[in-house]
Amino acid sequence: QVQLVESGGGSVQAGGSLNLSCTYSEYTPASNCVGWIRQAPGKEREGVAAIYTGGGSTYYADSVKGRFTISQNYAKNTVYLQMNSLKPEDTAMYYCAAAWTHVPIVAAVITDPPKYQGQGTQVTVSS
């Protein structure tokens, strides 16, 4: 069992930045990979980014590449999502998620969703 707690959401104008944080309860196989998924009202869930907590490899959805950066502080069991050049279409509830690989988080969030996720934090980008 992995507990995930997000923080850092808020409202920002287009072009602005936000930094999300996710603290996970412990390093286990279940938190081998930690990342972010999002869901906008009326839309399907979308994988955003993931990082392997042991090795540091990162993966991104095409829609956020070059704008979002995922990183971690391994000693603090915390993963960050730095979001720059935000667009109105980035508006969504962002959920921290944990899995053995990046696939359920970034590539197959609909068909093979991550087993663990947090309560979510709202990100709103106005035009």
Instruction: Please report the pLDDT score of residue 26 as a whole number.
Output: 87
Rounded distance between C-alpha atoms, residue 57 and residue 106, angstroms: 13
Rounded distance between C-alpha atoms, residue 28 and residue 33, angstroms: 10
Q: What is the mean pLDDT of the chain?
A: 95
pLDDT at residue 62 above 90? yes
Tens of pLDDT, residue by residue over 18-55, are 999 999 998 888 889 999 999 999 999 999 999 999 98
- What φ, ψ does residue 66 adopt, rounded to 5°? 85, -15
Rounded distance between C-alpha atoms, residue 21 and residue 38, angstroms: 14
What mean pLDDT comes out for the span 70-76?
Answer: 95
Q: Which residues fall within 8 angstroms of residue 75, CB to CB, at 6 or more apart?
A: none
Among all chains, which residue has been given the structure tokens 């921290």?
96
Given a contact cutoff of 8 angstroms between Cβ atoms, the answer to whether 97 and 105 are in contact is: yes
